[in-house]
Structure 1
């Protein structure tokens, strides 16, 4: 006769299964309970229990909002991830990314982390660099174009003139790597260097979300610009 699993073990196992269910709904949704059960090799009753917990915690919802009973001839409910579910997934991905960067730092050294940060930010620079350059030599115009591009990427970015007209502040109200950058500021530093290269001036980070600020704030002079590709470390002031 098999021994009964401890409650703690059961709770951990259930949490792991629900995390996998949430990931599949995010990647394959709208998805039905039957499809989830088949993919995870779970009994229908088991998958319904996990779906119920996720639905009660507002991490998933029925696609189209149809939550009534499933009758004869009625299509099966298909589930999608909610904003709260996406937030839960982002937190788990942040934990994984942090663990991966710790491993990289321990095995290959801090230069490898910096190299990864530069590689990661190069995609953003390639995506927005042409539009920023097309704005011409007016640094303020370049900042506005960059802010618009970052806003479209989901960074909640805006460009704000500093009193006196000699500088602007590029503000970002959202950072997808905020939790990871708290331990690995190389990610923020690489982003600041990319801003400097695109804008053609030396920029200064005044605050970051990862460092506890309510927004990431980058100070950018818009008069007497220096030569493009000025290096910048991007440390918060």
Structure 2
């Protein structure tokens, strides 16, 4: 016999691993079935409505799910419209949508039919050039000794989780460390993406840079070394990098992790 006030079994499980698994089930149900009410989700997943609300609150806080009023077709009945929950763009991105596969296929087609490796390199430079427009003003506005940190902050806003730090050991300079790379799986097959990124870093910071490690190459962090300028800081933004310096440095050292 059930004791009065006893919580349902599902709600007694409070371990973080169990919670994460259940939240994944809630998100997957929204992906498969579209916007749903708490009652819909509870019925599909075999959970109590109280448990569903708890997991939805966590998913909303993580910006994976958003609440909105249920769309009504035809005459609206009295009372407040039911609330439904749907995945956000961020929530959809958490599921495999084959974007990487599509990008690889597109670049492979460019390589085969539109000019070979040189065409892929041109695409990579054009892509990062447009992306870097939002970085340029931030770096230019920073003092000489703060440009690497400004670039790291701008990259982080684009999802690269970047930080700037002093170079370890006897190296005179800084390291730009990117803990996440949104295009890592594509860059595994097309290193031109990493090489173009290295070139644009050189242009923005106004000095030659050296790529020491990349996530695409299997390292844990993308690491770029920025040497100390003659006055203790990079020289400042310049029009274009020296392609031989940046590209060759990327090729020679892409697999070395300085840590």
User: Is the TM-score greater than 0.5?
Assistant: yes
Deviation per CA, 1:103-156, whole angstroms, max 9, x where unpaired? 1111111111111101110122211112212224x2x31101111111122210
Alpha carbons of structure 1 residues 99 and 141: separation in structure 2 relative to 1, 3 Å: same
Q: 1:183 to 1:62 in 2, by over 3 A?
A: closer
Structure 2 alignment gaps of length 5 or more: 1-27, 46-51, 69-77
Question: Which residue of the partner structure matches residue 159 of structure 1?
Answer: 164
**Unaligned 5+ runs, structure 1:** 1-18, 26-30, 34-47, 66-71
Give TM-score scaled by structure 2 length.
0.61
- For 1:125 and 1:84, locate their aligned partners in 2 and report how far apart those are by CA, in whole Å: 26
Quick one: which of 133, 145, 151 aligns to 1:146? 151
Supply the distance in 1 between the matched residues of 2:179 and 2:228 (Cα, whole angstroms): 22
CA distance in 2, matches of 1:146, 1:95: 29
Give the 3 Å change call, closer, same or farther, for CA 81–198 of structure 1 in structure 2. same
- Aligned to 2:139, which of 128, 132, 136? 132
State which of 82, 92, 100 in structure 1 corresponds to 2:98.
92
Aligned mates of 2:32, 2:192 — CA distance in 1: 28
Tell me whether 1:179 sits opposite 2:191 in the alignment.
no
Can you list the C-alpha shifts for 1:2-57, whole angstroms capped at 9, x where unaligned? xxxxxxxxxxxxxxxxx9x94996xxxxx469xxxxxxxxxxxxxx89xx69xx9x
Contact 2:215 2:222 in 1 (8 A): yes
Matches of 1:62 and 1:167, distance apart in 2: 43
Corresponding position of 1:40: none
**How many residues were matched structurally?**
186
2-side partners of 1:82 and 1:200: how far apart?
A: 36
> Structure 2 vs 1, CA of residues 212 and 23 (structure 1 numbering), >3 Å: closer, same or farther?
farther
Is the radius of gyration larger for structure 1 or structure 2?
Answer: 2
Q: Which residue of 1 aligns with 2:125?
A: 118
Relative to the length of structure 1, the TM-score reads 0.66
Distance 1:207 1:81, change over 3 A: same
